[in-house]
Structure 1
Amino acid sequence: MGTSKREEEEQSIILISDDEAESTLGNSVVLVDPLEESALEEQKSEEVVDEECELVVTFCKQANVMPHARYDCTMQPFERMECDTCSPLGKNADICNQCYCYICDKLASECQNWTTPSLCHCNAHNKSKFWKDQRDFALAGVLVMFNLELTDIDADLRHGGSLLIKFIQELSMEYNKYLTGERMSPTQHECFCLPKLPPGQCNVCRSRNVEVVYKSWQNLGPTASLKIAVPCLLQRITTQLQRMLVLCDFPKNLYEKFIHFFQSISLPCHCFGFSNSLNVVPWDHVLLTTVLKGQNITGQRTQKGRKVFLWETLPVIEARVEKLVDKENYKEVVRYLRAVKCNDTKGLRDLRDQIPFYLCKSGDFLDAAHALLFPVNSLACCTACRLTPLQFEIYLKMFRTGSVPTKKDMLDSGPWVTVGSPLKDGVLIKQALKLLYSNMSLYRNPKCWSSLIMILGSSNLLEKSGHLHPLSLKEPPLEFQKGVLAASGGLLEELKAKMNVSLPTAIFSPHLHHEACLILAVQAVQQMLFCDLPYLTSFLEIALAFGNNFWALRLLLDHLSYEEHILHGTVNLILRDLNRQKATMLKLWQNLGPQYVGEFLCLFLTCRHKKMQSIGLFTLNIITENLHMCPWAKHLCNFFHNAGLRHLPLGATAHHEVSKFINIFEKL
């Protein structure tokens, strides 16, 4: 039986080219006709050798037609036109079983728009720019507007394209509601910031949850209200995009295309300022890299005869700082913040206020202490002017111990870790007093003075939890105390004038440096009381900060007795504190134990001034009234016996109250 023409075509060999551009015919399929098909069938078992080409044919079989684009089909003819979408050209609508739609990238038999008028996917081919654009839009969706190659689009970008389409649809709905003046209730939107937070927890997105009344804007008219709304929306969009460009590691090609697309957007005249808002300096920019490496401390350089500055918007600066801190590149953060310039002076100043903390994180505590007192430039005030009492205490703790909190924010609770050598005691107290003298709100805050005294009376060893170890310093000789007090007056005046002060080595000796610093602090507290006592809200916490160093507290109280009104004002503050904080004091005494309470009482009861004795009597009265909460009170009675307090000339009132307290336990 003879072979039909159709069968002869099916027995042809079809080769698929990997690269369409290399094909001489411009097709993805090449047809090879066997020259001697019948002879080969008869001699399948024999090898055919072409000696000139060294080609050996050992076997032939009927070819299978592979999937191909419609315009490459060898079974059906195809006519090419640039952009004909009205109706199928010639026999373009005819297909074989393996024909695929060039636009939809699926079998032509499954294409919904194969012959649809005004679409006609059957006419699509790869030699037309129109059809290529149609294919790119079908494959890339809304991402095609970014001029991305298909090879640039990964799963994340496709997901972003889906979100963008969803956003466009939601925006269209919101705009329709705006036109009708519909009132919208607040809703919690999904957060798309970096890092992504649960709905309602992002400060940036929280503004979206504000109830919007569209009618009030509609009264302005659509054009006028849009002039207000569009810049606000663009500001929020560009701010987030700026952060993404800094925080995300986009491929350079994608990075450049994204910026080029944004610049190509046609904006209204009142929004022209946003056109270049995404011109964010890349991380590998020459000026930026030299600043981060410390090779350029000014943030400026001369380029083609003109000065170029490292000038960035505040969102970009915040994002750079965030990324550098995440990588723990604290020295680079400091260099960057000192060199960069910004239109938002207050926002930049707030970021620069963190420079001392970043220096501490890098282990440079001395530079951090100086950075608190010296502004970055001559037009700004120093960071010390804006310190809070808690920040003041944390800085002193870091300077004292050479340790820092492990968290990014110094105020976050968490473990501490040692990163460098602590400041020497003499340097520590000088810097601490300069900070107090630079900030009046700190100077008049009793918490700051109690922090200073507590830290000076503590070891430089810090627990991982951040707790200090208090020291019980032995009372130094009287002559040593007098010498330090005599030198303190002039030293404090020089520190107030922000002069470079050198502590006398003869007085602040290595053997008694802790004691000398504590005496200097006592003198500073005394001067503060003489000038600013009316501004104090408390004094008890200052007295408690001395811990077991009662000799230093006694030194302070003795000097206060020289000024009657200062003595009375101080005593009244302590009595008021004791009266307001009875429950707190009882818990504290429970923790400190009868030895501490006994010495505290003896300190005040044995004062030569009766007004000062009233503090001891009031304290004793609190304990007597709350014996059920003071199981240690019996041991306190033994302390009084051992101290001979009953036989000391305390005065009639004090002697009577002490005897009364002792008699309570003697009757038990």
Structure 2
Amino acid sequence: MGPGKEASEESVILISDDETDAETTLGNSVVVIDSSDIQEDKSDLEEKKSEEIVDEESGLVVTFCKKGMVMPHARYDCMTHPFERTENETCIPVKQNSDMCGQCYCYVCDKLASKCQYWTTSSSCHCNAHNKSKFWKDQRNFTLTGVLVIFNLEPAEIDADLRHGGELLFKFLRELSIQYNNYLSGEIVLSLQDCVCPSKQTPGQCSVCSRLQNEIIYRYSDVFNLVTSFINKAEKEKPKTAAIMLLGAAREIALHKDPAQPWQNLGPSESLKLAVPFLMSRITKNLQRMLVLSDFPKQLYEKFIGFFQTIPLPPYCFKFTNCLNVPSWDHRLLTTVLKGQNITGEQKKNGKKEFLWEVLNVIKARTEKMESMGRYKELVRYLKAVKCNEGVGLRDLRDKIPFYLCKSGDFTNAAYSLLLPINNLACCTACRLAPVEFECYLKMFWTGSVPSGKDFQDSNEWILNVGSPVKCCTLIKQALRVLYNNQSLYRNSRCWSTLITILGSSPILEQNGLLTTLTLREPPSSFRQKNFWALKLFLEGLLYRMPVLHDVVSMIARDLNYQKNTVLKLWQTLGPDYVGELLCLFLSFRNSQLQSVGIFLSHVVIENLNQCPWAKSLDIFRLKAFKRPHLETANHLQLNKFVSILENL
């Protein structure tokens, strides 16, 4: 009783905690105090407040009592009408069990007894229901939970999503039952023309014809289409709803029997033994993702897994037996890996080694969840430690480890991890980088910034200054190592130009991911005149674009032919070393078109020996080093002729 309130305004109901004393309590929820012990004379109310009623046996002391209001209660707890308990009587009401007061509730329906349509109905008789009978408890659970009773869910656990899933599953089971019965009926195939008798006999007299006429084909395709449609619908529902739908569907199709003969050649959706494993694979993959991505309560999580384990799988579905044994996020081994306390994913349990081993679908789901939560350090630890029987799929996920390290701000380790194989894999991440990824990595290493999205393609907006950029010397060293480990990057001129552009840009990135190019001083004339390395890189990049290479060679030959005088004057200034390097550059390629440019330059020298007094100083021994089969036959003959002329000077 709260302070400031009069005792006369309160009603007291004494609730017993002793459920075993059924005789004195008439149930399990009310203690009856005899009316003779209650003083109702209002004129003596104040005096009676100070009086006490003492039960010496129980030690219960009542200082004041008032007759309480009748509250809603189960029929078996009614204090107005006696109740007779029986185990499972459903034929007729027992004694006065059908009597009710205005506050009696049906134990099974959980509604007012006056509104229960099965209160006295034969074969139901809800008036006899009580909480001490397993039969009536099961009836109550089934009424309140419907088809959800097969999942062993308590009424308190069932929310709107689970109930909705149960309603959809119940409707589906009725439709599935019809289709499955049609499947079991089969299709009778009449095939009189298939008789293989030496002489055509009257139909019905030939045993072969008789068998062919009565052949029954069992096609599972209608059932397959119905289940497929139901799975599609489940994938659009909320996780709890979808889980109920998928688990219920898995249980039903696992119980389907195949009456078809082994020799019947049916398609993937028509043969039950082919269709059911396909459907089961799709169902289990969806459930695996839900167990990882959805925050199911722990008890519900375990009940879903336990329900699947009770499904009697046929032999052709045995591979799915343990597919839902997905460790929860608080699993001990998984937790130690995520926290960095276990870097190998192995531990000893009861003297045996235990590994963090998960199927690829679960690994992808965990990766997706940790990505969405920004838990990149934990994701890196997990991908390094987890094991899987699908090596290629796991390798593809591990290829993003350097990216996740960048997202966590650890750019230096990301630069080194590009070239480090994980768990003794045959090659490293750098071997499989695409040009776009290489460019993105260089930008991240140089600026200490990362794309805001989950992938390299999501680079329209960047998060700036996530961590310390990679040192310039380390960046150059790792970039060159990547280029020399990946032939496709090495042969792509864009990758080399990207490296030069990055190193010539400001380390301060714009929000949209654009670099600010720095203004550099003009290089010295010697660098500009003898930059054969740049010309070689340019020409190597054209080797894989033959139409472009053909156009470039034609343009070079045309310009050399038109500007011979200018070229000769330039050569007089630069001398034999320059001309020799230029000749050897073109002759060093195995491409006949590029070799022809070197032969053309030799012709220019031969035709203008009077303007080339330096020709006798050319490195003849180096030119002789170019032999067949390196040179095309025609080019080799022309080079020999040029060398002979130089030797006679």
Structure 2 length-normalised TM = 0.65
> What is the aligned partner in structure 1 of residue 520 from structure 2?
473
* 1:454 equivalent among 496, 501, 518: 501
After superposition, what is the alpha-carbon deviation per residue over 1:254-283, rounded to whole angstroms, capped at 9, x for unaligned? 222332222122222322332322222222
> What is the aligned partner in structure 2 of residue 290 from structure 1?
336
Worse overlay, 35-44 or 147-156? 35-44
Does 2:115 match 1:110? yes
Q: Specify the code of the residue in structure 1 equivalent to 2:70.
A: V
Give the C-alpha shift of residue 464 in structure 1.
0.8
> What is the aligned partner in structure 2 of residue 273 from structure 1?
319
Whole-angstrom distance in 2 between the partners of 1:158 and 1:147: 13
Does 2:150 match 1:149? no
> What is the aligned partner in structure 1 of residue 486 from structure 2?
439
After superposition, what is the alpha-carbon deviation per residue over 1:447-468, rounded to whole angstroms, capped at 9, x for unaligned? 3333233323322221110111
> What is the aligned partner in structure 2 of residue 663 from structure 1?
none
Matches within 5 A, 1:646-657: none
Cα distance change on mapping 1:436 and 1:524 into 2, 3 Å: farther
Whole-angstrom distance in 2 between the partners of 1:120 and 1:424: 83
> What is the aligned partner in structure 1 of residue 561 from structure 2?
none
Cα distance change on mapping 1:191 and 1:393 into 2, 3 Å: farther
* 1:100 equivalent among 91, 100, 105: 105
Contact 1:27 1:72 in 2 (8 A): yes
Q: Specify the code of the residue in structure 1 equivalent to 2:360.
A: L
Give the C-alpha shift of residue 343 in structure 1.
0.9
Whole-angstrom distance in 1 between the partners of 2:229 and 2:65: 71
Whole-angstrom distance in 2 between the partners of 1:195 and 1:33: 54
Cα distance change on mapping 1:75 and 1:193 into 2, 3 Å: same
Contact 2:505 2:516 in 1 (8 A): yes
> What is the aligned partner in structure 2 of residue 427 from structure 1?
474
Contact 2:93 2:127 in 1 (8 A): yes
* 2:19 equivalent among 18, 21, 35: 21
Contact 2:506 2:516 in 1 (8 A): yes
Whole-angstrom distance in 1 between the partners of 2:72 and 2:485: 81
Whole-angstrom distance in 1 between the partners of 2:480 and 2:396: 23
> What is the aligned partner in structure 2 of residue 161 from structure 1?
166
Give the C-alpha shift of residue 28 in structure 1.
3.0
Cα distance change on mapping 1:405 and 1:169 into 2, 3 Å: farther
Does the residue aligned with 2:354 lie in a helix, a strand or coil? strand
Contact 1:446 1:536 in 2 (8 A): no
Matches within 5 A, 1:111-510: 111-169=116-174, 171-172=176-177, 175=180, 189-190=232-233, 192=235, 220=266, 225-417=271-463, 418-477=465-524
Whole-angstrom distance in 2 between the partners of 1:36 and 1:374: 87
Contact 1:444 1:536 in 2 (8 A): no
Worse overlay, 367-376 or 169-178? 169-178
Cα distance change on mapping 1:368 and 1:560 into 2, 3 Å: farther
Contact 1:14 1:29 in 2 (8 A): no
Cα distance change on mapping 1:561 and 1:87 into 2, 3 Å: farther
Cα distance change on mapping 1:36 and 1:187 into 2, 3 Å: closer
Give the C-alpha shift of residue 36 in structure 1.
7.3
Whole-angstrom distance in 1 between the partners of 2:349 and 2:311: 30
Cα distance change on mapping 1:481 and 1:345 into 2, 3 Å: same
> What is the aligned partner in structure 2 of residue 529 from structure 1?
539
Give the C-alpha shift of residue 141 in structure 1.
2.6
Contact 1:526 1:560 in 2 (8 A): no
> What is the aligned partner in structure 1 of residue 35 from structure 2?
34
Does the residue aligned with 2:508 lie in a helix, a strand or coil? strand
* Matched positions, count: 491
Does the residue aligned with 1:468 lie in a helix, a strand or coil? coil
Whole-angstrom distance in 1 between the partners of 2:237 and 2:52: 69
Give the C-alpha shift of residue 434 in structure 1.
2.2
After superposition, what is the alpha-carbon deviation per residue over 1:575-619, rounded to whole angstroms, capped at 9, x for unaligned? xxxxxxxxxxxxxxxxxxxxxxxxxxxxxxxxx99xxxxxxxxxx
Give the C-alpha shift of residue 151 in structure 1.
3.0
Cα distance change on mapping 1:89 and 1:564 into 2, 3 Å: same
Does the residue aligned with 2:413 lie in a helix, a strand or coil? helix
Contact 2:268 2:275 in 1 (8 A): no
Whole-angstrom distance in 1 between the partners of 2:549 and 2:508: 27
Identity rate, percent: 56
Worse overlay, 315-324 or 468-477? 468-477
Does the residue aligned with 1:50 lie in a helix, a strand or coil? coil
Give the C-alpha shift of residue 23 in structure 1.
6.1
Give the C-alpha shift of residue 33 in structure 1.
3.3
Give the C-alpha shift of residue 357 in structure 1.
0.6
Matches within 5 A, 1:574-593: none
Whole-angstrom distance in 1 between the partners of 2:440 and 2:549: 21
Cα distance change on mapping 1:374 and 1:398 into 2, 3 Å: same
Whole-angstrom distance in 1 between the partners of 2:77 and 2:331: 48
After superposition, what is the alpha-carbon deviation per residue over 1:131-154, rounded to whole angstroms, capped at 9, x for unaligned? 111112222233322223333333
Give the C-alpha shift of residue 536 in structure 1.
6.2
Does the residue aligned with 1:460 lie in a helix, a strand or coil? coil
Does the residue aligned with 2:131 lie in a helix, a strand or coil? coil
Give the C-alpha shift of residue 407 in structure 1.
0.6
Q: Specify the code of the residue in structure 2 equivalent to 1:439.
A: N
Does the residue aligned with 1:370 lie in a helix, a strand or coil? helix
| Gapped regions of structure 1 (runs ≥ 5) | 1-12, 197-215, 486-518, 543-554, 573-607, 610-668
Worse overlay, 391-400 or 436-445? 436-445
Give the C-alpha shift of residue 94 in structure 1.
2.7
Cα distance change on mapping 1:470 and 1:49 into 2, 3 Å: closer
Whole-angstrom distance in 1 between the partners of 2:132 and 2:287: 37
Q: Specify the code of the residue in structure 2 equivalent to 1:388.
A: A
Does the residue aligned with 1:78 lie in a helix, a strand or coil? coil
Contact 1:194 1:244 in 2 (8 A): no
Q: Specify the code of the residue in structure 2 equivalent to 1:81.
A: T
Contact 1:46 1:58 in 2 (8 A): no
Whole-angstrom distance in 1 between the partners of 2:140 and 2:548: 77
> What is the aligned partner in structure 2 of residue 616 from structure 1?
none
Contact 1:76 1:95 in 2 (8 A): yes
Q: Specify the code of the residue in structure 2 equivalent to 1:101.
A: C
Structure 1 length-normalised TM = 0.64
Whole-angstrom distance in 1 between the partners of 2:163 and 2:30: 31
Cα distance change on mapping 1:397 and 1:14 into 2, 3 Å: closer
